Structure formats: C-alpha cells, structure tokens
Amino acid sequence: NWSIKAKRRKTTGTGRMRHLKIVRRKF
C-alpha cells in the first residue's frame, strides 16, 4: 500500500491531481 503513503505525503492542492494522474497511468 505504498500508494496511500505517497498520496498522503504528496497530497497538496494541485499536487494531488497530478499524483492521481500518474497513479492512473501506472495502474
């Protein structure tokens, strides 16, 4: 569940949307 930790750490306004896009591409 590394995605959850990374999401919490990299969740900052627009950063969250950007991270979600990357996660969607990977998975």
Per-residue pLDDT of 1-20, as tens digits, reads: 566 666 666 555 555 666 66
- pLDDT, residue 26, reads 62
More confident residue, 22 or 12: 22
For residue 27, give both structure tokens: 């998975």
* Domain locations in the chain as residue ranges: 1-27
Residue 6's CB is within 10 A of a number of other CB atoms, namely: 13
- Decide: pTM greater than 0.85: no
- pLDDT, residue 12, reads 56
Residue 11's CB is within 10 A of a number of other CB atoms, namely: 12
